[in-house]
Amino acid sequence: MKLIVPRETRDGEKRVALVPESVKKLVKAGISVTIEQDSGAGSFIDDRAYAEAGAAVATDLKASLSEADLVLKVNPPTLDEVDLMRPGAMLLAPLTPTRNLGLVRKLLARKVTAFSTDTIPRISRAQAMDSLSSMASIAGYKAVIMAADALPRYFPMLMTAAGTVLPARVFVIGAGVAGLQAIATARRLGAVVEATDTRPAVRTEIESLGAKYVGVEAGEEAQDAGGYAKELSQEFHRKQAELIAKHCAAADVVITTALIGGVTAPKLITAEMVDKMKPGSVVVDLAAAGGGNCTMTRPGETVEHNGVRILAPLNLPSEVAFHGSLLYSRNLTAFVLAFWKGGAFALDLSDDILKEATITHDGKVIHIPTAQALEKDGARP
């Protein structure tokens, strides 16, 4: 099997889909690996390191992709990249398929078997493949560093000759992987941290990190079978809005991480809530790619309103490119090797992991939510 890693073309992307450590494992398993020239430059990995690990380094992307059996990417492929892939080739990348229907249609037309890293189920067998968690952990860490840089206050309490400086107050909305890492990082910097989540089950995890849990008793199941938060009742949202407004007003930093189904960002912070926040306060909206948890969020930009800054980064893992590449590479390698059997990739669509991860195959949509999104999109006038 010929495995190809193209250089990422997204603006600002510094990560690479495979690092030399993973190349060695794949080559040892009998897989031919080709890396496009300078793919690892943003992560401080040179082409010589790939060659020493056993990979070929290619300068002609068109020729390489046309021969690829499997393509690995950090970001969704461009339509031009899909056009270069041969029918029957496989692709492994974070496709967010229900948002990228044009890409899905192109993959269907090319008869590419596409696996999406963001639909891999959160089951014990797939833990080593969970790139969403790997990248979310980096985002949660980096969000706090960004907030500390933007906040005109110290995070820790300090005893100085000029008197005592009180610690910053940090409020984290959403206690998934990103939220928990944000809590841990803010606590390590000395902040007083409070956190909320629609899933009361995460209270123990929040408190184990030294933060205070604040929440609304849902009285209903707050997560789906895949472990993602799901939509709840209007009465719950009313109570939740009151709680969020109260804690945002008291916070110096608010970090939001809430996504429904891992894709859609619910609007949790209104302009009225921002109006009541202290001048100099900072909001870091980690759900910006899904539209943002704050109604004032502008994805990829920083907005200032009445002295409150709202940061909406779109690709924080790229800012920690070395470890972002390392962890992502390990996740993809675990996926490939899990189904590498007898010198071939075993595409068994009855397998629990492949059944969820496969978006398109042989010109058909396999992933049910994507099929529903395509049907709904086609019915629009």
**Confidence check: pLDDT of 236 > 90:** no
Residues in Cβ contact with 34 at an 8 Å cutoff, skipping those fewer than 6 apart: 2, 3, 4, 5, 55, 56, 57, 58, 64, 68
- Read off the pLDDT of each residue in 215-236 and give the average, rounded to a whole number: 64
Percentage of the chain modeled with pLDDT above 70: 95
DSSP for 6-74 reads PPP-STT----S--HHHHHHHHHTT-EEEEETTTTGGGT--HHHHHHHT-EEES-HHHHHHH-SEEE-S
pLDDT band with cut points at 50, 70 and 90 for residue 216: confident
Q: What is the band of 234 on the pLDDT scale with cuts at 50, 70, 90?
A: confident
| pLDDT greater than 70 at residue 225 | no
Is pLDDT of 117 > 80? yes
Question: Residue 255 pLDDT > 60, yes or no?
Answer: yes
Which residue in this structure is represented by tokens 């969704």? Answer: 76
Q: What is the mean pLDDT of residues 307-326?
A: 98
Q: Is the pLDDT of residue 263 over 90?
A: no
73 near 328, Cβ under 8 Å?
no
Closest CA to 155 of 188, 181, 180: 188
Residue 230 is predicted with a pLDDT of 55
β-sheet bridge partners, residue 114: 91, 360
* Residue range 55-111, pLDDT digits in tens: 999 999 899 999 999 999 999 999 999 999 999 999 999 999 999 999 999 999 999
pLDDT of residue 237: 81
Determine which helix (DSSP H) or strand (DSSP E) holds 113, and give its type and residue range: strand 113-116
Following DSSP, what letter does each residue of 208-250 receive, concatenated?
HTTPEE-----SS--B-TTS-B----HHHHHHHHHHHHHHHHH
pLDDT value of residue 235: 85
Q: What integer is the mean pLDDT of 247-269?
A: 92
Q: Across the chain, what does the average pLDDT equal?
A: 94
Q: What is the CATH number of domain 137-314?
A: 3.40.50.720
Answer whether residue 157 shows pLDDT above 70.
Answer: yes
The residues assigned a catalytic role are: 122, 127, 130, 133, 228
Lowest mean pLDDT among 208-212, 219-223, 341-345: 219-223
CATH 3.40.50.720 residue ranges in the chain?
Answer: 2-129+320-378, 137-314
In this prediction, residue 288 carries a pLDDT of: 96
Considering the segment(s) 2-129+320-378 as one domain, its CATH architecture is 3-Layer(aba) Sandwich (3.40)
272-287 pLDDT, tens digit each:
999 999 999 999 999 9
